[in-house]
Amino acid sequence: MEEKTLSQMRSNVIERFINIETIINSIISQHYLKRVETPFLLEVLYDEYFSFALRRRILEKILRRTSTEYDNKRIETLNRLNTIRNYFAHTGPEIFKGAEVPQEGQKGSVPDPRNLDRHIDYSALYRDFQDLAPDTEKFLFEFYKKLGGQYLGG
């Protein structure tokens, strides 16, 4: 895979996941404060120690309490999207077996940290992310609106 292609996929996955987290943050703020409160977002939810796992857990509690549509598969999908995001954000560089210095045109691979005998298939991960993200984004945004949240964008 070309470096430019992988870089574009990384960028797309990370940016899109940031948007998913923003919707989740808006849901949390809307649920507890009855509006999206900027200082709460910036000082609490955007704090570097406020992990995605905590964010997801709070969302799960909100869904269980307020939604008849609660489905654990939604949480599993969020976990999968986060796993894919982590692969793109935290794995690399390529390893070239049997060569101290890679030769021009030589293909390397990135070992999967969960199974070192396998290599990461970024194209498959990207397709999986693209398949799962739209429904998740739509669900989260619709849930945000059901809580009374408003979208003021264009």
pLDDT computed for residue 66 by the predictor = 86
Below-50 pLDDT ranges, the chain = none
Could you tell me if 151 and 145 are in contact, meaning their C-beta atoms sit under 8 angstroms apart? yes
Residue 30's identity, in one-letter code, is Q
Alpha-carbon distance of 80 to 132, in angstroms, equals 9
pLDDT of res. 70 = 74
pLDDT at position 23 is 96
| Domain residue ranges of the chain, discontinuous segments joined by + | 3-146
- Comparing CA positions, the residue from 31, 54, 34, 50 lying closest to residue 42 is 50
Beta strand pairing status for 115-119 and 111-112?
antiparallel
Rg (CA), the chain: 19
Nearest CA to 144 out of 60, 24, 20, 54 is that of: 24
On whether the CB atoms of residues 143 and 63 are closer than 8 A, the answer is yes
User: Measured between alpha carbons, how far is 148 from 15 in angstroms, rounded to an integer?
Assistant: 26
Q: What pLDDT is attached to residue 25?
A: 97
pLDDT of residue 15: 97
Q: What is the pLDDT of residues 51-96, one digit of tens each?
A: 999 999 999 999 999 877 678 899 999 999 999 999 899 887 655 5
State the pLDDT at residue 16.
Answer: 97
Question: pLDDT value at position 118?
Answer: 81
Q: What is the pLDDT of residue 49?
A: 96
Residue 71: the pLDDT is 81
